[in-house]
Amino acid sequence: MQGKFFTFIPFILILFFFCSKQDGTYTIEIKDGVRHVLNNAPLWGDEPKVALEFVQKIGELDTEDENYMLYRANDVALDIDGNIYILDAGNYCVKKYDKQGKYLATIGRKGQGPGEFEFPVSIDLDTDGNIYLADISNNRILVLLSNGKEMRTFKIGKRVSAFKLLPSGDILTGNTGGASFLSISNRNQEFNQPVVKIYDTEGNLKSEFGKPFDFKDIAFNTVGNKIYFTFDWDNNMYICFAYQNRVEKYSLEGKLSFTADRLLNYDISRPKSSMEEVSGGGYMIRMPKINVVSDGIGIDYKGRIWVMTYLKQREKDNPEIFLKLEIYSNDGILLGEIPWSEDFTPAKNSIHMFGYRVFFFDFEGTSVYEYKIVEK
């Protein structure tokens, strides 16, 4: 028994060595086969080894050319030739530009008929160049040819929302915190739902996964589990939570590879909403303020994870920087940070990455900015 005891101690020491970074930048625990990464500081230190270099701006607030007049632009996609498709939601269309930003075509229009939509929130392109568009108002996804002709429509789940087409051809979507109705009789129905869902292109649910956090509150169990999501070309999926200190990676089958957090300059509040019965038998829910952590996520050409994170909570009319871009390794280690220093405020979920090409929308939705990733 004594010999077995002394051979076991070196194993514990070796495990601790490999799960703790000696310079204190991060620590790792393995729980149930999953890496739990606590990031204390960027591994690269104060000098990030990558930068964003401005390429071009598409869209102007004051322009007489309607082809470059964007209103509530909120999504972007690229085809195999590198052409840029911008969802111009306020103008009820998709505008196509070449790689240099030259206008090529306008696709779609407002309405409920073939090839028409009323509240578009998301677009993507399949390998054949067909356009998939999510229309919240009509609760459907439209599939359009590149000339705008409608091929078909279908639904995914109870409420259509923002989505991405995976390399496998399936549809990735999740909890975007946009529920319109809450069940008073079943107050945990949204909390019990996994935050990530995979559908086929006929609208059939294939899998769902991702554990929500229980806020012990009817409203925050939905809103507080809002996620942003993306994927790599190995069909791995990555999510960050808008109101939680969580960045996670999943396989296509839903297996959790890692969950990572980091030190924040503010507390993540866990407030409670209040519910009041109103005349007519309805209820009014009052939502207190909840601190925001993340506003978007992307994957670059090296498989690094980029997360748009709050340095502090935004204050009206305060010009101080409140955002930063965090760069993580593919296994959840925080590599570096880039404080946001551009002269526009990015919109929520405005970071869109295609290899080394990166796109942002401004807060007003009138312009799209393209950058490229530069290695230092």
Residue-level pLDDT, tens digit, the chain, 376 residues: 444 444 444 444 444 444 555 568 999 999 999 999 999 999 999 999 999 999 999 999 889 999 999 999 999 999 999 999 999 999 999 999 999 999 999 999 999 888 889 999 999 999 999 999 999 988 999 999 988 999 999 999 888 999 999 998 999 999 886 544 445 455 545 567 899 999 999 999 999 999 999 888 877 887 889 999 999 999 999 999 999 999 999 999 999 999 999 999 999 877 777 777 777 666 777 777 889 999 999 999 999 999 999 999 998 888 889 999 999 999 999 999 999 999 999 999 999 999 999 999 999 999 999 999 999 9
Element (H, E) at 261: strand 256-262
d(CA 164, CA 230): 7
The length of the chain, given as a count of residues: 376
Residue 281's pLDDT is: 66
Residue 180's pLDDT is: 43
Q: Please, which residues have CB within 8 angstroms of residue 320's CB and are 6 or more apart in sequence?
A: 312
Residue 279's pLDDT is: 72
**DSSP-derived secondary structure letter, 317:** T
d(CA 74, CA 161): 13
pTM: 0.90
d(CA 173, CA 163): 5
CB of 263 within 8 A of CB of 247? no
d(CA 167, CA 236): 10
d(CA 93, CA 106): 7
Q: Which two tokens stand for residue 276?
A: 């009041």
Q: Reduced to 3 states, what is the DSSP secondary structure of residue 223?
A: helix
Q: Reduced to 3 states, what is the DSSP secondary structure of residue 236?
A: coil
Q: Please, which residues have CB within 8 angstroms of residue 241's CB and are 6 or more apart in sequence?
A: 213, 225, 226, 227, 293, 294
DSSP assignments along 91-130, one per residue: GTEEEEE-TT--EEEEE-EESSSTTEESSEEEEEE-TT-P
Residue 118's pLDDT is: 92
Instruction: Indicate the pairing of strand 283-286 with strand 294-299.
Output: unpaired
Residue 218's pLDDT is: 75
Residue 5's pLDDT is: 41
Question: The domain 2-375 belongs to what CATH superfamily?
Answer: TolB, C-terminal domain (2.120.10.30)
d(CA 68, CA 84): 13
